[in-house]
Structure 1
Amino acid sequence: MLDVETQRRPCKGKWATLLFDLHFSNQNQTHNCHQTFLEYHCCIKNMNQHGKSTHH
């Protein structure tokens, strides 16, 4: 197990996501995940501006 100080240090080097491959279309969902995240927060912001509740 790593100590706390080792876990807090940022990783060195360049990190990249996988390229799109038709054989494994579910591998790289970074773009879809990011777009859904943005749409969610945009929706919450719009609903709050119109005075509608975002909680059930």
Structure 2
Amino acid sequence: MDRVDPNLRDEMLAKLFLDQMVSDFKRSKILERIDHSLKNKDKEAFLRLTEELKSVS
């Protein structure tokens, strides 16, 4: 990374950071929905959401 243009490096780091933040946000929302499905004993939603969580993680 030392030889990369500083502007390009900053842009790459910002993109990585934003991608991680979006992923963390999606994961958090899915986990909330999983908790809700457990609370409501909704097996179908739980199974669907756990599969969705696997694709985000």
TM-score normalised according to structure 2 size = 0.49
For CA contacts below 8 A with separation 6 or more, give which structure has more relative contact order. Answer: 2
TM-score normalised according to structure 1 size = 0.49
Larger Cα Rg: Structure 1 or Structure 2?
A: 1
